[in-house]
Amino acid sequence: MLQTWLVEQRRRGRAYQPRFQRRQLSVTWLGALLALALLGLLSAWSGMVLLAAPLGASSVLLFGYPASPLAQPRNIVLGNLLGALVSAGLARGPW
């Protein structure tokens, strides 16, 4: 019973998987690479750590599927800003 349910879910999941063209994949890859490389260079130049894991996910959203509601500039900028403020606040905490 569990095995048939898993097989059905796997089949259903593949039906919803989007198919991307090579051009979309290459633009996504190149845009994310350039954005993260620029942040890496700025990080090396300033001596401060500017790279974080959520920036990779944001890059994929922004360059891979720009029409997504999650890839809109206000969501990306405000989300990363909020995360930076919380992490800076926790880093300077009493602990």
Domain map of the chain by residue range? 21-91
Dihedral sign (CA 34, 70, 50, 56): negative
Task: Report the alpha-carbon distance of residue 86 to residue 42 in Å, rounded.
Answer: 21
What pLDDT, on a 0 to 100 scale, did the predictor assign at position 58?
Answer: 81
Along the 95 residues of the chain, how does pLDDT read in single tens digits?
A: 788 877 777 776 655 556 778 888 888 888 888 888 888 888 888 887 776 767 777 877 887 778 888 778 888 888 888 888 887 788 776 76
Give the pLDDT of residue 18. 67
Q: Which of 43, 56, 52, 39 is nearest to 91 (CA)?
A: 52
**Residue 36: per-residue pLDDT:** 80
Q: How far is CA 74 from the centre of its chain?
A: 14
* Threshold 0.85, pTM exceeds: no
The predicted structure's pLDDT at residue 15: 58
